[in-house]
Amino acid sequence: MRRRWLGRAALAAAMAVCLATSGCQRKEHEAQASTPRRLKLDTVGAVTRPIPDTLLVTGTLEATTVNDIAANATGRVVAIHGERGDQVKKHAALAKLDVRLAALQAAAANAQAKVASDQAELQAQECARTEKLAASGAVPMAEWERQSWQCKIAKSTMAASQVQATMAAQYVSDGTIRAPMDGHLVERFVEVGQFVTPTTKVATLVSLDELRLRISVPEIQLGGLKKDAAVTFRVAAYGARIFSGTLARVSPVVRPETRDVLAEATVPNGDHALRPGMFATVELQLGTKLASVVPSSAVVVREGTSRVFVVRDGRIEERAVQLGPRVGNEVAVLKGVARDEPIVREPGEEVKNGLFAE
């Protein structure tokens, strides 16, 4: 009986120890769960410094040089060169006309010019001989005067013949219609077999090396416009790529209907990426102003909104911000961040609003 009682007591003691141990472990787990996870983050303070004061406007790219090329000759087209979009060099042939008749006329004009030249030379020799005879009294002065007039007529006839020969050669040359400049072919308006006249438009050529950005600036911002001011812009075709130009011209009048002024910037386009007609979102520099600046890497875009993560009182705050211009590897924050506030330099996916930070 006593042994049975001792066995039961030992079993009860063992169960008490087990329950006590499980309770301790549960408390340890609960304590660990109640301790919040803290992220170790690299932060940087928002710095106030002068940044470009820019005006956001819209604009349209236009060609600086556009040439509508006329035939400048009469004839039937026998060959064409180039199609829409082709790049052509200055003096490159765009079309050729049938110049067989013009070539025959040029040959006849050259022959006539040679005859006139020979006649003028012969007449000059005769004039020189008559002048000597007149000086010695062998021939009357009237004969000398007549020969002198003949010499002048022969010279004029030779000059006229040479002009006719030059014109005939030009007609032959005009039979090849050439590009007046380096550029791209926008449109070709003639086909083989078509009869053209000097006023017939053959093609349109545009230069893409330098474009003109036409922008509308509100009247209230007119005082900030300065010639040679920097202009940056983006176009839809190239996403985040930034293009630049220089403000070159400002209209002297304000348009009464829209209360704005037209301005033009010159835009270098060496790689021909930009095209006339493109719509542009433009930042026009008006001067400088003070603003908070943070590293560009601190800004993330979520749900279409620019955001930064601020560490405040040991916790992470996700804030929507309004961005200004970019300067190198930094970007201005116009709204949403105060001076010297600690900003997470490179927030990863694990950085979320409300978490604790070391």
pLDDT for residue 11: 45
Give the per-residue pLDDT at 196: 93
Distance from C-alpha of 311 to C-alpha of 294, rounded to nearest angstrom: 14
Neighbours of 7 (CB within 10 A): 10
What tens digit of pLDDT does each residue of 85-111 get? 999 999 999 999 999 988 888 899 899
Domains of the chain: residue spans and CATH = 47-63+208-357 (2.40.30.170), 70-95+177-206 (2.40.50.100), 100-174 (1.10.287)
The C-alpha angle 335, 338, 344, rounded to 5 degrees, equals 95
Residue 220: closest CA among 254, 173, 251: 254
Question: Distance between CA atoms of 333 and 329, rounded to whole angstroms?
Answer: 13
Q: Please state at what angle helix 100-136 crosses helix 141-174, rounded to 10 degrees.
A: 160
Side-chain-facing half-sphere of 76: CA atoms under 13 Å? 6
Q: For residue 69, what pLDDT band results from cuts at 50, 70 and 90?
A: very high
Collapse the DSSP code of 320 into the 3-class scheme (helix H, G, I; strand E, B; otherwise coil) and give the result: strand
pLDDT at 124: 86
Of 41-45, 168-172, 277-281, the range with the highest mean pLDDT is 277-281
Q: Is 86 strand, coil or helix?
A: coil
Neighbour tally for 258: CB within 10 Å: 11
Contact 123, 154 (CB under 8 A): yes
Mean confidence (pLDDT) of the chain: 84
pLDDT exceeds 60 at position 19 = no
Q: What angle do CA 329, 330, 332 make, to 5 degrees?
A: 155
Higher-confidence residue of 248 and 132: namely 248
Contact yes or no for 208/183 (Cβ under 8 A): yes
Give pairs for 48-51: CB < 8 Å, separation 24+: 48/290, 48/291, 48/292, 48/293, 48/339, 49/290, 49/291, 49/293, 50/288, 50/289, 50/290, 51/288, 51/289, 51/290, 51/291, 51/293, 51/324, 51/325, 51/327, 51/332
Checking if the pLDDT of 20 tops 50, the result is: no
C-alpha span between 95 and 205 (Å, rounded): 13
Per-residue pLDDT at 8: 57
pLDDT value for 343: 84
Q: What gap in Å lies between CA 111 and CA 189, rounded to an integer?
A: 37
Q: How far is CA 351 from CA 42, 123, 125, 246, in A?
A: 11, 104, 105, 41
Q: What is the mean pLDDT of residues 14-40?
A: 52
